[in-house]
Amino acid sequence: METTLTQAPEHADATHHHEHHHHATVPPADENIYSPHQRHLLLIVSLVALSAIILFGLLSYLTAFLGAGILYVVLRPWFTALVHKRGWNRTLVTVLLLLLSVVVLIVPFYMLTTLLIERLVNFARNTDQILAVIHRVENLTNFKVTDPANTRQLLEQGASKVTGWLPSLASGLIQFIAVVGLMLFTLYFMFSQEEAFLNGMHRYLPFREKTQDELSDSLKNNVNANVLGQGVLVLVQGIITGITLWIFQVPDPIFWGLVTVFVSFVPVLGTPVIWIPAAIYQFAQGHSAQGIGILAVGAIVITNVDNLLRIYLGKKMGDIHPWITLVGIVGGVEVFGIVGLVIGPLLLSYFIVLMRVFERENRVVAKHTTTSHSSVATLSDGVGAKSH
């Protein structure tokens, strides 16, 4: 009986100890189940996932943000000179720069469109001249365009194509207005809150300060070569094309020279859209020598000026290797459209810069590892010598 009474308290103590241990191992209901390392990893995954969703949603407007970045680099020297050096009002300078962007980018295209519509109206009123040219082309090619069956077929095809283009033109116009508006809106905040924008770039980009400086220099070089250089290039092409058409007596050469300036911005079209029809026109007029002259100058001079001058300006204005310019433009235009003239070479330059950074960082790590191993070996030799 005594033994039983003596053992009972011991059993009770063991049971109490077991219950206490059980309560200690179960976490409270409101305690986070993740470790600090798991929370850090999940935070990175969440940021990447949200970034991917946002990028997918804004993918159709990516051109607006890329265009705003390009204009920021182009206009920033003026902003710095007026605001930081001369003390002008920041908002006033920002608005003036936005107006300049609109005048340079939109007004010329509007004027060109108006001139083209005016020319088309004149052509529509002077159908006799057009039919005369068509008859001469028929005599040269032995293909009767003005035959009733052919005419009906061409008109039906033209009407169906125009009908199909109208919805896409309307949606394209809305898309263009939205992209330009978003680009100007983004550019406004890049200038009006420049310090916060630059500090954010330095703070959140996962690169050392030296690497960020290299990427910034690469951006400036590409913009100088492929925006300012492109402006010089299309002006030269427009002047050469206008002079060529004037020499070979094509009507209204100044107007077609201006059209060439704008067409040259579109790599898919280029200057052949102007000088090939001009040569056909001269052939149709019976001026074969002038038609041959236009084709020769266009194929030998105007086409090669584009390639050679682009490479020269890329090397002079931005110190960019010609291979980067050509390969970047080919890939960039295919993916990004007209802004690919800048974005393509820029991405290729960034890839090369980051490869150099990767190589430099690997050398630093390898050197640090070698130094650490040498220090450990020296310390081990010293300890061994003392023990002997």
Task: Render pLDDT for 111-140 as a digit per residue (tens, 0 to 9).
Answer: 777 777 777 666 656 656 556 666 666 666
Q: What is the DSSP letter of 85?
A: I
Q: Are residues 70 and 105 located together in one domain of the fold?
A: yes
CA 140 to chain centroid? 45
When pLDDT is cut at 50, 70 and 90, the band that residue 185 belongs to is very high
Q: Are residues 355 and 234 located together in one domain of the fold?
A: yes
Query: Does 104 fall in a domain?
Result: yes
Q: What is the pLDDT of residue 4?
A: 46
For the residues 151-172, what does the mean pLDDT come to?
58
For the residues 306-314, what does the mean pLDDT come to?
74
Query: Does 176 fall in a domain?
Result: yes
When pLDDT is cut at 50, 70 and 90, the band that residue 95 belongs to is very high
The domain in which residue 269 lies consists of 211-365
Q: Are residues 175 and 298 located together in one domain of the fold?
A: no
Query: Does 374 fall in a domain?
Result: no
Q: Are residues 182 and 228 located together in one domain of the fold?
A: no
CA atoms within 13 A on the CB side of 282: 22
Look-up of token digits 């004037």:
246
Tokens encoding 105: 């980018």
Q: Which residue has the higher pLDDT, 160 or 64?
A: 64
Q: What is the DSSP letter of 60?
A: G
Look-up of token digits 């290299």:
214
Query: Does 13 fall in a domain?
Result: no
Tokens encoding 367: 């050197």
Q: Are residues 180 and 313 located together in one domain of the fold?
A: no
Identify how many contiguous H helices and E strands the chain contains and give both numbers.
Answer: 16, 0
Q: Are residues 190 and 217 located together in one domain of the fold?
A: no
CA 19 to chain centroid? 66
Helix (H, G, I), strand (E, B) or coil at 76: helix
pLDDT surpasses 90 at 49: yes
Q: Are residues 286 and 343 located together in one domain of the fold?
A: yes
pLDDT surpasses 50 at 5: no
For the residues 330-340, what does the mean pLDDT come to?
74
For the residues 259-284, what does the mean pLDDT come to?
79
Report CA-CA distances (Å) from 189 to 61, 78, 94, 184, 194.
17, 16, 9, 9, 7
Query: Packing angle between helix 272-284 and helix 229-247, nearest 10 degrees?
Result: 0
Q: Are residues 233 and 341 located together in one domain of the fold?
A: yes
Q: What is the pLDDT of residue 138?
A: 63
157-166, 174-183, 184-193: which has the minimum mean pLDDT? 157-166
Q: What is the DSSP letter of 231?
A: H
The total of structural domains in the chain comes to 2
Query: pLDDT tens-digit profile of 347-385?
Result: 887 788 788 878 877 777 777 677 666 665 565 555 555
Q: What is the pLDDT of residue 219?
A: 78
Query: Does 3 fall in a domain?
Result: no
Give the C-alpha separation, 59 to 64, whole Å: 10
When pLDDT is cut at 50, 70 and 90, the band that residue 249 belongs to is confident
Cβ(263)–Cβ(270) below 8 Å? yes
Q: Are residues 219 and 356 located together in one domain of the fold?
A: yes
Query: Does 248 fall in a domain?
Result: yes
Query: Does 41 fall in a domain?
Result: no
Look-up of token digits 């991405």:
347
Q: Are residues 215 and 302 located together in one domain of the fold?
A: yes
Q: Are residues 93 and 232 located together in one domain of the fold?
A: no
Q: Are residues 144 and 220 located together in one domain of the fold?
A: no
Report CA-CA distances (Å) from 228 to 102, 108, 190, 223, 266.
17, 17, 21, 7, 15
pTM over 0.75: no
Query: Packing angle between helix 209-223 and helix 62-79, nearest 10 degrees?
Result: 90
pLDDT surpasses 90 at 92: yes
Query: Does 46 fall in a domain?
Result: no
Tokens encoding 320: 């960019």
> Closest Cα to residue 244, out of 229, 259, 262, 256?
256
| Amino acid in position 131 | L
